[in-house]
Amino acid sequence: MSQIAPSLFITGTDTGVGKTVCTAALARALREMGHEVGVMKPIQTGVRRTQEGWEPGDAEYLTHVSGVNDPMDLVCPVRLEAPLAPSVAAELEGTTVDLARVLAAYHELRTRHAGVLVEGAGGIAVPIQGDYGMADLARKMELPVLIVARPALGTINHTVLTVRYAQSAGLTVLGVIVAGMPLNPGLAEQTSPAAIEQLTGVPVLGRLPYDDKINTDRCDPGASVDWMRASGTAQRVLDQMNILANALSK
């Protein structure tokens, strides 16, 4: 079975769960494995504008860690200052998110790369414009979803709800990565991944360990890239993509 370069929409059970770190590490690992993938952060909020332009943010981390050198206008076509949901941040600035610009940038990236990893903002139900949200964007891009979840108590509920919401929106959920796993996990961290798999039927593809060397401001991925390959997580993502591709071809 030949492997394809994946195109994915990466979302989270909440904001700050580790989507950017996982997206960048997965992109870099896949590129090192010979798969030519690009990265995209279509909409980024909470980015400060200065006289020199926008301050660096998640999009810069993605490109730096992954080793992709596409123009930032393609990688991150929409930036907003308020650290809020895109629709709310845009309204405060007296504007709306330009969905046509987002989709045009995505399609351009698809012509430049065999696959594109698209990182959403916040969770899958976050609004972008009116009642149009992240799930609608993923569906418009025709992408399966990879969910990044926390390891702590409560993650079962958050992850099951995210999976169910995505599926109800007509999206295929490829799997889950648990990010920030403690070096000495408690009972909740140890048992939650199996419970998530049992309740959703969706595989937990990896458990990224907590790493205090990871710093998105300094574009330091710590050991996340090495872990993504050595743990087999990147390979499991590829395997799931190929299972999906084979199912769709029948």
H/E run at residue 29? helix 19-32
d(CA 28, CA 36): 10
Decide: 117 and 27 in contact? Cβ < 8 Å.
Answer: yes
| Pairing, β 49-50 against β 53-54 | antiparallel
Task: Determine the longest span between alpha carbons in the chain, in angstroms.
Answer: 54
Task: Count Cα atoms within 13 angstroms, Cβ side, for 224.
Answer: 32
Q: What does the DSSP 8-state code read for residue 131?
A: T
Task: Report in angstroms the alpha-carbon separations of 36 from 6, 10, 55, 139.
Answer: 9, 17, 28, 23
Distance CA(244)–CA(232), nearest Å, equals 18
Phi-psi bin for 42: left (phi > 0), alpha (psi -120 to 50), beta?
alpha
Q: Would residue 41 show up in a list of annotated catalytic residues for this protein?
A: yes
d(C-alpha 138, C-alpha 176), whole Å: 16
Residue 218 to residues 65, 121, 193: CA-CA distances in angstroms? 11, 20, 31
Q: Looking at 41, 140, 213, 250, which residue is catalytic?
A: 41
How far is residue 137's CA from residue 68's CA, in Å, rounded to a whole number?
A: 23
Please list the active-site residues: 41
